[in-house]
Amino acid sequence: MNWPKLDLRGTGAPLIMESTSLLALAALLVLVQLPHVLYLPIWISAFGIALIGLRVYARQTPNHVRWRYIFSTPAITVIAVVGALLIRAHYGYFLGRDPSVAFLFILVSLKFAEYRRSADATLLLGLSCILLLTQYFYSQSILSALVTIPAVFALGHALAVLRDPSHASAKRPQLKLIGTLLLQGLPIALLLFVLFPRLPGPLWTLPDDSMGKTGLSDSMRPGDIGNLSLSDEVAFRVEFNGAPPAAEDRYWRGPVFARFDGYTWSPEPKTVEAYPAASIPSEVEYSVMLQPHKQNWLFALDQAVSIPNVDGSITPLGNTSVFATLTTSGQLLTREPVTRVLHYTQRSAVSSRFQSPLKPSNTELQVPDNMPRTRALAKELRAKSSSDSDYARRVLARFNQMNYRYTLQPELLGDRPVDEFMFDSLQGFCEHYSSAFTLMMRAAGIPARVVTGYLGGEMNEDYMIVRQSDAHAWTEVYLDSAWQRFDPTTAVAPSRVENGVRGALPEGDVSGFRHSASFAWTRNIGLAWDSINHNWQRMIVNYNNRSQEELFEKMGLPSLALWQITALILVIAGLWCLWMLKSPLQRQKRAASPADKVWLQMEKQLRSKGIVRDHSETPQAFINRACQLLTDGGEELRCIGRTLLSARFAAMPDESAAMKAREAGEQLKRLRLEFAKPAIN
């Protein structure tokens, strides 16, 4: 079989180019690629960075045939295709965020390997900017912004070097140039950040393939929340419109579980949207910045009386929101999983009683078979009690009086977890107590369910931090035709509400925490850092079209519709183009050298004396004419003109030309006085 002959050597031009620009670009690309190493498969990072290293290595013998083969266009194409196939194989799909970023990563490296002409460098600069931005797909925290700063400096450096590769050796002017470039960019970036039109909501939904689910899960087994309690991670931050509620009212309602199979709690599969709640006094308004947890629920203080909107506004109950719903079990659910930091405003009526329009379902009475001893105990206790609420009090009293212990490290339970907990081990965390209490109620024929969420929150300056360690589970019991909150954990460890988990746990358990509360200063640093993060989140990441409108309103600017903004930008761009096209001369003047500037100054000065230079009049001729016309100061003018002409047209370094121009400029200033006199006379 005859393969068509492919002349690889012919396709690859020599790889000769400025070493300085090559190195500057290599540094830029590596700095741009480094943050991605955290998110991309290791082989892609290694492959991409190795390609860059190879190309830098090849610069020593750029004409070697080997390199011409390796970096020829067909070879590069083959590597790109192979890379694409490997990425497809790795992820299982290609059209998605992560494979695309990975492919861009490889392509940038390949483009660099192929780099031959200065046009390639311009393209690479653009590509590296895009690649740099893609890392914000993964994280928008302060740290990820800080990580990009070296790359931004490298970008400035590459721009400076590429502008004039042959003069890259002078460090000081180059640093100055980079500094100027970046500083000039800052106000533009700031202006664009504040003024550039923001779209309501993201342009595309980011697929949720990179982050694991954090926080509460959609089912509860004994031990789940206990593990969560070890995490100092922030679940959400809250800013209150007014005073924050008291510690015992800080029950942040999350997923509600009604089904129990003997081991695991799970929610009712069907959720029903709630209707206007009874008007309850003492409403609290607050805004929540929820960290992404990849689940559908939102957190609100018991009980939510509004539904949040995506733009931060509030929908009063009774109206539907496209963004979230409130179920009859009091849960706030979003329609899409929360994949980015979500900012919503919410109103709650602080209460431990919860009126539901629906009667409790059978699920909320269901008791599994693997707890005969608990059932028997329930029956016995109920018989002793005068009423349902008396029964509930007796059960709580049992938790309180018997030797139950609140601990993060309970004994492992076997086939009958509820019985074993109630009668044998007598130790557990909040999920054990709420689970057992709920089942005790149900066994006595009283509807009950487990509610998970967070209890507590720590005030930091003007906002509250709720951490994963505040995760909690409690019970709601249907008494007197309303759901009432019972927290059996408080019966065991009353300090849980006031002092949080750490205060309530026995000392041995606390050692599991990363930060010990005894070191006040680490704690303070932690809180200060959280405050910075919070402000970053609030002011930078959450700056959206709504905040923009508010800002415009405050500044007295009219708020424009998107089409108006688009039209405005088009008009400005059009005017700019016209201006650029119509006035090449003005452009020349703007880019004038110091000598040209002084020259223009001189022309202006002479014009004010009535000596106007015709546009086609050459400089020397103009000076000669002016000298003839002047009655006084002609010689000085001739001298200045001579200096200026040589500064403008003679061969000399820029510095000496600038010096001559300055000199002439000063003479010109003195000259003004001298021939001002005859003009007045």
Partner 1 sequence: MSSVAPLPQATSPSAAQVLDALDTVLLGKREQSTLALACILARGHLLIEDVPGVGKTTLARAFGQLLGLPWTRVQFTNDLLPADVVGVSIFDSKSQEFRFQPGPVFTSLLLADEINRAPAKAQSALLEAMEERQVTVDGVTRELPNPFFVIATQNPGEQRGVFGLPESQLDRFLVGISLGYPALEQERELLAKGDTRSAVDGLQPLLDHSTLLTWMNAIDDVHMADSVLQYLHELIIASRIDGNGLSPRAALGLVRASRAYAFVNEQDHVLPDDVKAVFSSVAGHRLTGSVRAGTTAANRITDSVTAP
Give the total of residues touching partner 1 (CB under 8 A): 17
DSSP string across 327-343: BTTS-EEESS---S-EE
Query: Which tokens belong to 236?
Result: 């959400």
Task: Give the per-residue contact string, 527-566, with partner 1 (x = CB under 8 A; - = no).
Answer: ----------------------------------------
Q: Which is nearer to partner 1, 519 or 649 (CB)?
A: 649
> Given candidates 645, 658, 663, 672, which one binds partner 1 under the rule CB under 8 A?
645
Instruction: Look up residue 533 and give its two tokens.
Output: 């993060």
Amino acid at 532: I
Closer to partner 1 by CB, 496 or 660: give it: 660
- Point out the catalytic residue in the list 302, 487, 509, 530: 487
Instruction: List the one residue from 322, 585, 673, 680 that touches partner 1 (CB under 8 A).
Output: 585
CA–CA distance, 445 with 562 (Å, rounded to integer): 59
C-alpha dihedral sign at 416, 422, 427, 429: positive
In the complex, minimum distance from the CB of residue 575 to partner 1, in angstroms, rounded to a whole number: 24
Instruction: Quote the least distance from Cβ 646 to partner 1, whole Å.
Output: 4
- Burial (CB < 10 A; 0-12, 13-18, 19+), residue 222, is buried
- Please, which residue, 199 or 651, has the CB nearer to partner 1? 651
CB 76 within 8 A of CB 114: yes
Among 517, 621, 629, 676, binds partner 1 (CB under 8 A): 621
Report if residue 650 touches partner 1, rule: CB under 8 A: yes
Known catalytic residue at 472: yes
Alpha helices in 135-244 (DSSP H): 142-163, 171-195, 224-228
Rounded to the nearest angstrom, the gap between the alpha carbon of residue 396 and the centroid of all alpha carbons in its chain is: 45
Residue type, position 24, single letter = A
DSSP state for residue 390 in the 8-state scheme:
H
Token pair 């849960």 is at which residue? 331
Q: 627 catalytic, yes or no?
A: no
- Residues 589-608 as x/- pattern, contact with partner 1 by CB under 8 A: -------x------------
Active site residue 232: no
Catalytic residue among 157, 419, 430, 509: 430
Exactly one of 197, 312, 526, 619 binds partner 1 (CB under 8 A); that residue is 619
Among 319, 535, 620, 656, binds partner 1 (CB under 8 A): 620
275 binds partner 1 (CB under 8 A): no
Among 618, 632, 635, 670, which residue sits at the site for partner 1 (rule: CB under 8 A)? 618
CB of 618 to partner 1, least distance (A): 4
Q: Dihedrals φ, ψ of 315, to 5°?
A: -100, 120
Task: Give 138-146's long-range contacts (Cβ < 8 A, gap of 24+).
Answer: 138/38, 138/39, 138/210, 140/340, 140/341, 140/541, 141/533, 141/536, 142/532, 142/533, 142/536, 144/35, 145/536, 145/540
Q: Does 146 engage in binding with partner 1 (CB under 8 A)?
A: no
Residue 617 in the binding site for partner 1 (CB under 8 A): yes
105, 49 contact by CB (below 8 A): no
Using CB under 8 A, which of the segments 11-19, 443-451, 515-523, 647-655 binds partner 1?
647-655
Q: Which stretch binds partner 1 (CB under 8 A): 377-385, 540-548, 615-623, 627-635?
A: 615-623
46 phi and psi, to 5 degrees? -60, -45
Per annotation, catalytic residue among 36, 293, 432, 472? 472
**Taking every pair of C-alpha atoms in the chain, what is the biggest distance, in angstroms?**
125
Under a CB-based contact definition with an 8 Å cutoff, are residues 473 and 252 in contact? no
282 binds partner 1 per the rule CB under 8 A: no
**Nearer CB in complex with partner 1: 522/620:** 620
Query: Which residues have a Cβ under 8 Å from the Cβ of 277 and sit 6 or more positions away?
Result: 303, 305, 317, 349, 355
Q: Which of 128, 490, 542, 643 binds partner 1 (CB under 8 A)?
A: 643
Q: Which residues bind partner 1 (CB under 8 A)?
A: 585, 596, 615-621, 642-643, 645-646, 648-651
Active-site amino acid positions: 430, 472, 487
